[in-house]
Amino acid sequence: MQNNKTLILLVAILLLTNIGVLVYFLNFKRPERSGQPKERKSVVEYMQGEIGFNEQQTAQFKQLHDSYMDSLKIYREYVQKSKNVFFNLLQQSDVSDTTIHAAAEHIGEKQEEFEMNNFRHFQKVRAICADDQQRSKFDSMVTRMVNRPFGRRGGPPRPDSGKSSDKH
């Protein structure tokens, strides 16, 4: 008899706990992710605030950035076309390894051009930095960008949260 009362009490506690958790999830909205801005700044505004660009540096950066974005579009189109050619080889029944290798190599060449373009752009932006403090801030920002998780798109890099990204 005592055993039944204990079991009934445990079932009642579990039922109330489940109802409480359900009410909590239905009534409370998910909080904003910390560190995620509600309103995204443009890259130019971000560089002005984060690196401390003055008006002249900001104008130079805006011009570099606009040119860079145009070139990125062209490189992305090249890489995409190369990938389309590569994967269209799947539709052929008898494709030689030489043909596959040549198509893959072409993608690699375009990707290399893309990466070199990125590097040159960042060299030019770094050259805009007026002093060691700005260069140091820029170098830190580039390091965060390079080390961010693969596939994250859009917006400026996340602020350094103190977490190690070596946990993969």
pLDDT: which is higher, 82 or 167: 82
- What percent of the chain lies above the pLDDT cut of 70? 82
pLDDT number for residue 154: 52
Query: Which of the two residues, 156 and 74, has the higher pLDDT score?
Result: 74
pLDDT for residue 161? 44
Residue 110 · residue 98 · CB < 8 Å = no
> Looking at residues 47-75, what average pLDDT do you find?
90
Q: What is the pTM of this model?
A: 0.60
Any idea which residue has 């992305």 for tokens?
76
Question: Is 3.20.20.210 the CATH number for 54-147?
Answer: no
71 sits in which H/E element: helix 55-88
- pLDDT category of residue 144 using cuts at 50, 70 and 90: confident
Give the model confidence (pLDDT) of 103-141 as tens digits: 999 988 888 888 899 899 999 999 998 888 889 988 988
Contacts of 161 (CB under 8 A, 6+ apart): 35
Q: What residue spans define the domains of the chain?
A: 54-147
Q: Residue 65: is its pLDDT beyond 90? A: yes
Per-residue pLDDT at 43 exceeds 60: yes
Tell me how far apart the alpha carbons of residues 44 and 54 are, in angstroms, rounded to a whole number: 11
Mean pLDDT along residues 20-46: 73
Predicted local confidence at residue 89, as pLDDT: 93
Number of Cβ within 10 Å of residue 111's Cβ equals: 15
